[in-house]
Amino acid sequence: MLTRRYLFFSSLAATVTSLRAAAPALKLGYDTHSLRAWEMKPLEHLDFAARHGCNALQISSLGEFESLEPAALAKVGDRARELGISLDVGTGCICPSAHAWKPKSGEPVENVLRALRSAKAVGARALRCFLGEAADRYDGKGIEHHMGNVIKIFRAARPAGLETGVKLALENHSGDLQAWEVKTIVEESGKDFVGSCLDMGNPIWCVESPETTLEILGPLAVTTHVRDTALSEHPRGCIAQWTACGDGCIDMARLGRLQKQLCPDTPMLLEIITGRPPRVIPYLEDDFWKGFPKARASEFARFVALVKRGHPLMVPMVIEDAPGPKIPEFEAALKKQEMIDLERSLEYAKAHMI
């Protein structure tokens, strides 16, 4: 009997191992903001991505292109196809009531459509955009006011936008939206036109575990931003600091497994933003919660559990926001740090996440 049980479980384990080995890997790449100090153009990024074994790339901003003329964009798209690299592109704030909105962007719906047309010309799958930032939760209007404006813009842009074949990807950006709020916008705007740019570093500013974010938005994700975070307790709540993959306390391997399960066709795009100082998230103070009147207790509890398991950053980091003059040697060190942290994060992802 014991022999039969042993053989059964050995066979089962072998089957599971075989299935895991047979599962296709996620597409891997990075968002160009990871190398922001290098000021590389899209063609340079494509060659860099190819040298590092990437098959996906997100060009963070339309402003990174040398020209938005169709011929210039097509040249970038042709090079991406030649290298076997799928492209996404990004634009900025699309909500006219948000703090980050730039009036020079013009009429909000036409702003979105212009960006979609540029994305189509370069052969992009998705156009990343965002509502705003954490300040929009505390401006007296409430985040739902801004969410409503985004939904109106998406609905108005939908008929013309569908013709481009490019999907809008709304990012949970810089503390503006919790995952369930992004989901609400996507579903009310139309899932055939709008999806999620699933950022796994930004949830912490909304006191949300990246696993919660992935579980809610994974089925809606069309593109991603992936980074690790160091978290630890603080008298006002917690301290958070973004890190290279593997240096923080997020279970990055589990995020990879969840992405394979929930959105296997969505590329894993690393957006490594190091060089930032630790930041306090004061969730033990009443004023913090004025911006989150509908936060879900069960989701916050998962975040607190993550913090309690966490630790501060345990490796050296050059801080770009440090006070004082920026001498050339300091700027060079920051630039080198960006490159090193992206390269080792790509290697970490290849070994543990995709």
DSSP per residue, 111-165: HHHHHHHHHHHHT-SEEEEE---GGGGSSSS-HHHHHHHHHHHHHHHHHHHHTTT
Residue 1 lies in a domain: no
Residue 7 lies in a domain: no
What is the Rg, in whole angstroms, of the alpha carbon atoms belonging to the chain?
21
Query: What is the token pair recorded at 89?
Result: 């592109």
Return the CATH number at 74: 3.20.20.150
Residue 321 has pLDDT above 90, yes or no: no
Confidence at 10, pLDDT banded by 50, 70, 90: very low
Query: What is the token pair recorded at 104?
Result: 């020079």
Residue 213 has pLDDT above 70, yes or no: yes
Count of domains for the chain: 1
**How far is Cα 168 from Cα 194, in angstroms, rounded to an integer?**
5
Q: What is the pTM of this model?
A: 0.93
Parent domain of 64: 25-352
Angle between helices 108-122 and 143-162 (to 10 degrees): 50
Residue 301 lies in a domain: yes
Residue 318 lies in a domain: yes
Q: Which is nearest to 92 in space by CA: 66, 67, 64, 123?
A: 64
pLDDT at 22: 53
Q: What percent of the chain has pLDDT over 70?
A: 94
How confident is the model over 67-87, as a mean pLDDT? 98
pLDDT tens string 107-160: 999 999 999 999 999 999 999 999 999 999 999 999 999 999 999 999 999 999
Beta strands in the chain (DSSP E): 28-31, 56-59, 86-93, 126-130, 167-171, 194-199, 221-225, 228-234, 237-243, 268-270, 279-281
pLDDT tens string 263-316: 999 999 999 999 999 999 999 999 999 999 999 999 999 999 999 999 999 999
Residue 243 lies in a domain: yes
pLDDT at 27: 98
Q: HSE-up of 147 (CA within 13 Å, CB side)? A: 18
Residue 317 lies in a domain: yes
pLDDT at 115: 98
Residue 9 lies in a domain: no
Residue 194 lies in a domain: yes
pLDDT at 78: 98
Sign of the dihedral through C-alpha 94, 104, 68, 160: positive
* Distances 340 to 35, 145, 178, 186, 328 between C-alpha atoms, Å: 10, 41, 31, 36, 18
